[in-house]
Amino acid sequence: MASQSITDHGGLPPSAFIDVEYRDQADFRCALRRFLHFSEEQARLAAITPQQHLLLLIVRGHRSYPGVSIGEVANALQISHHGASLLVDRCVKRGLLGRREDRNDRRRALVSLTEQGQQVLDRITEANRHELGSLDDALFRESLHQSLRAYGALANGSAVEQEAPNPE
């Protein structure tokens, strides 16, 4: 079977993308879904919900840790303040988070991980680290980085001649 060149589209409108870019994005999305599914299963094995795991991760990884506000949690999770407060309440009741009043603004509550919450997060994070390592090729391949750099340059208005990524 003869291969089709990038400029010969067999009657289809020409595309600005080459095959490897579609493959890279498809592989990346599949690997991302595999990782998310794996991570959700790890949360369930640790007897917490995937949402609770994400909350623990966001709180612990936040720049203002150990004093993360409910508003910061809501913003990071892209949910309402009320929804974030309810999720935090459930984790406080489970002993995963501690909640305290902000000394500078008594209207604000600040949260941080308890020792139990840190232990749960550490177990899930360790498992996730191994899974990320197994997905390294699909998530972090050089041709995907080249495409992202080219897209960024185009978005910034720079005229960039993109070299076809090496499919290896």
Domain spans of the chain, in order of start? 19-151
Q: What is the pLDDT of residue 155?
A: 62
The model's pTM is 0.74
Closest CA to 127 of 33, 46, 50, 32: 46
What pLDDT is recorded for position 52? 98
> What's the pLDDT at 36?
96
The pLDDT value recorded for residue 17 is: 77
What fold characterizes domain 19-151?
A: Arc Repressor Mutant, subunit A (1.10.10)
What pLDDT does 161 receive? 47
pLDDT at 85: 96
> What is the C-alpha separation between 164 and 146, in angstroms, rounded?
9
d(CA 121, CA 138): 25
Per residue in 36-69, pLDDT tens? 999 999 999 999 999 999 999 999 999 999 999 9
pLDDT at site 162: 46
Structure tokens at 58: 């966001």
Q: Which residues of the chain have pLDDT under 70?
A: 1-14, 138, 141, 143-148, 150-168
pLDDT at site 160 = 45
